[in-house]
Structure 1
């Protein structure tokens, strides 16, 4: 029997890669998106070769309580991958209140409360796996990304705490902390800046979305059955 996984932020680069990997492994998928409906629909079309059920669902996580828009469409979720998000570059003193609220709604409050809403069903089954796509900046902090680093740090602390809380019930909670990955999040960087960035990384290159997807699939699988509350760094040796 196919399992059902929910992927938040499925229309983004990492979300799409995770969807492709999980579909290939036999999952049915709920594919959350916010504004990029066309990307979500293209994703569903590309996944059709795997013969599963793939349902795009819109919800605006930048709003307080936006996660509630998903709930009526979710039935029997076995796994959750939280990978929706956006960065906020600039000096902290220039961050306005609305941007700060949106950032924490997207990365922290809506994912946390969505997880809370899904836990009762997982508790009935005594099984389930939850994975957050956090960030290296949640581990080390980054200048000019103070609020984003704080949000990702909150995700990491939440994963460590909830992993302990749900472990006796057979539900695992983990996170991946990617380094620099080839996605739209760094599309604004010049080629010179990207080259400098790659030269800072011991492996000499940026990460690929497929590599984050492989890590997520591993953490969801039975191969990771004794791993919970863990933050898996996938960063090419950068800032370790």
Structure 2
């Protein structure tokens, strides 16, 4: 965590989805370091429990819950349980996402099953709706809230290393973010999105080394990103330093696919 001791999120309660590994785990830890109470939500009960216990052993205030974010009822139950343990959630990081591969390759549109399409849409897009739907009423009542949705550079460009369902959901997240920013802004709620490029996570490692090397060669900073670099961007967008920023999509991609 680079020796961070800035407690700019002290007193905040942050919920992070997809928090058991990768970018989500880095985001959860960054918020802990910055003084927040952090709720970890993930579909993998074992991993989210392990991650939560590890953070708790370090002295951080955390709680965790298993839920499939594509299921609204599960999200409601999880939010109620986490709120009862940590207090009212004022910051939501919609990070949960999937990008399935088949022998390291994305499915072509002519071979993709409807079941796979629905699964990806359910996690990547509907999941973001479900958590925003569950938590926004209280944010509106408090007249304060911060939401960060996880898009991708694939939401605005063709990337052969992902499939159509992933790109479609990440593009939709951009529209979802801008609509929420307009709708919720009058209630004191800022909504922004992050669009990571190739970040060194288990998901990225599921494709060939050659594919990742090709991305590195096309990236001005000539490397993959690190999960904590996305976490830092998330923490900035939910801090007091960004109070007048809403409806924006911030690339965290080292200059890859500059728009």
TM-score, scaled relative to structure 1: 0.93
Q: Is the 8 A contact 2:155 2:170 kept in 1?
A: yes
Verify: 1:120 aligned to 2:137, yes or no. Answer: yes
Q: Tell me which residue corresponds to 1:213.
A: 231
Q: Tell me which residue corresponds to 2:5.
A: none
Q: Tell me which residue corresponds to 1:31.
A: 40
How large is the Cα RMSD of the aligned pairs? 1.7
Verify: 1:163 aligned to 2:181, yes or no. Answer: yes
Structure 2: gaps of 5 or more residues? 1-9, 101-105
Q: Tell me which residue corresponds to 2:6.
A: none
Q: Deviations over 1:206-239 (max 9, x none)?
A: 1100100000000010001000010011111111
Q: Is the 8 A contact 2:69 2:131 kept in 1?
A: no
Distance 1:21 1:64, change over 3 A: closer
Please state how far the C-alpha of 1:196 moved relative to its aligned partner: 2.2
CA distance in 2, matches of 1:63, 1:78: 21
Q: How does 1:9-28 map to 2 (within 5 A)?
A: 9-28=18-37
Q: Deviations over 1:133-181 (max 9, x none)?
A: 1111012233452111000111110001110111111100001000000
Q: Deviations over 1:52-83 (max 9, x none)?
A: 32111000135575423423313210100011
CA distance in 1, matches of 2:72, 2:159: 26
CA distance in 2, matches of 1:212, 1:48: 22
Q: Tell me which residue corresponds to 2:241.
A: 223
State the secondary structure of the residue aligned to 2:110.
Answer: helix
CA distance in 2, matches of 1:196, 1:163: 35
CA distance in 2, matches of 1:237, 1:215: 15
Verify: 1:48 aligned to 2:56, yes or no. Answer: yes
Please state how far the C-alpha of 1:189 moved relative to its aligned partner: 2.5
Task: Report the more deviating stretch, 225-234 or 133-142.
Answer: 133-142
CA distance in 2, matches of 1:26, 1:64: 29
Q: Tell me which residue corresponds to 2:103.
A: none
CA distance in 1, matches of 2:248, 2:76: 27
Q: How does 1:129-208 map to 2 (within 5 A)?
A: 129-143=146-160, 144-208=162-226
Structure 1: gaps of 5 or more residues? none
Please state how far the C-alpha of 1:182 moved relative to its aligned partner: 0.2
Please state how far the C-alpha of 1:120 moved relative to its aligned partner: 1.2
